[in-house]
């Protein structure tokens, strides 16, 4: 087989999703985002595992023209989380099991920063669920405004407007 033909066939072949690399770079962020939505650690663990399994099963349906792998993975995780919330008929509280979640990082905030940490935690908890969702997508998932817009099914500018509104609310709650 000639090199030209091999190159042509390789170009025609859909790009392979590097799932192992995706898990290594996004595993912790997916858990942080899911836990922020569903509220408790046990459910977050199940949903995170299910989201990764679902993404793995559907990895061949990933279309790079419709978004990045990271955005695609967080869309799956968000849908799984919202399905669970619907099933439970309860709203998400961002960090109800905060002690368990934050234990590993609380000491690293700063010396005497425990009060500041509590303020921020309370401020996040006081946000509306949609704002908390946006904060989690921005701060934990690390998605751009365009990726958030794709995930939510809205335009990029609309997503930016909503993120800015949520950020303003968080700033006000922290002040």
Partner 1 sequence: MIRSKHSDPSGDAPLDPAVQAELDALDAALRGDAIEDDTLAALVRDVQAQAPVLPTELRERLRDDVAAGFPRGRRRAAATAAGGRSAQKRRRFTLIGSGALATGIAGVFALIVFTGGGTSPQMATESSGSGHQDLAQIDQLSNSFDSAGGDAGTTTSAASAAPKSEDLSGTGPVSPDAAVRPLPEDGGRGAVVKGSSSTTSSSTSKSLTPATSPRKVERTVDMEVRVKSGKLDEASGKVGDIVRDAGGYVGNSDVSIGTRGAGSATFTLRVASAKLDDAIARLSKLGTVTSQNQRSTDITSSFDSAQSRLDDANKVRRALLRALSKATTSGEIASLRARIADNRATRANLDRQLAALSRRADLTTVSLTLTAPSSGAAAIADDDGQWSIGDAAGDTVRILGTVTGVLLVAAGAALPFAILALIGLAIYRVRRRVGREAALDA
Task: Looking at residues 4 to 43 of the shown chain, list those that interact with partner 1 (rule: CB under 8 A).
Answer: 19-20, 23, 27-29, 31-32, 35-36, 41, 43
Size of the site for partner 1 (CB under 8 A): 77
Q: Out of 17, 47, 137, 169, which residue is the one contacting partner 1 (CB under 8 A)?
A: 47
Handedness of CA 91, 95, 98, 104 (dihedral sign): positive
Distance from C-alpha of 49 to C-alpha of 27, rounded to nearest angstrom: 10
- Residue 95 binding partner 1, by CB under 8 A: yes
- Residue 156 binding partner 1, by CB under 8 A: yes
Among candidates 89, 92, 83, 72, which has minimal Cα distance to 134? 92
- Residue 120 binding partner 1, by CB under 8 A: yes
- Residue 96 binding partner 1, by CB under 8 A: no
Which residue stretch of 6-14, 60-68, 88-96 sits at the interface with partner 1 (rule: CB under 8 A)? 88-96
Q: Which stretches does DSSP call E strand in the chain?
A: none
- Residue 66 binding partner 1, by CB under 8 A: no
Distance from C-alpha of 64 to C-alpha of 99, rounded to nearest angstrom: 38
- Residue 56 binding partner 1, by CB under 8 A: yes
Handedness of CA 99, 102, 106, 109 (dihedral sign): negative
Neighbours of 11 (CB within 10 A): 8
Q: Phi/psi of residue 97, each to 5°?
A: -100, 50
- Residue 52 binding partner 1, by CB under 8 A: yes
Residues 135-154 that bind partner 1 (CB under 8 A): 135, 138-140, 142, 144-146, 153-154
């Amino acid at each position: 087989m000639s090199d030209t033909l091999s190159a042509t066939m390789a170009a025609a072949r859909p790009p392979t999703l590097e799932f192992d690399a995706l898990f290594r770079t996004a595993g912790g962020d997916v858990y942080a985002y899911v836990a922020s939505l569903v509220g408790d650690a046990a459910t977050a663990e199940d949903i995170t595992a299910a989201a990764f399994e679902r993404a793995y099963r559907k990895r061949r349906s990933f279309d790079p023209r419709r978004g990045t792998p990271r955005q695609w993975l967080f869309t799956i995780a968000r849908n799984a989380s919202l399905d669970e919330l619907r099933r439970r008929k309860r709203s998400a509280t961002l960090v109800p099991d905060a002690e368990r979640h934050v234990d590993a990082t609380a000491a690293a905030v700063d010396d005497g920063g425990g009060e500041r940490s509590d303020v921020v935690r309370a401020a996040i908890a006081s946000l509306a669920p949609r704002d908390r969702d946006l904060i989690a997508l921005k701060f934990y998932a690390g998605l751009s405004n365009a990726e958030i817009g794709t995930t939510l099914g809205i335009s990029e500018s609309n997503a930016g407007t909503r993120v800015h509104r949520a950020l303003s609310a968080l700033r006000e709650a922290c002040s």
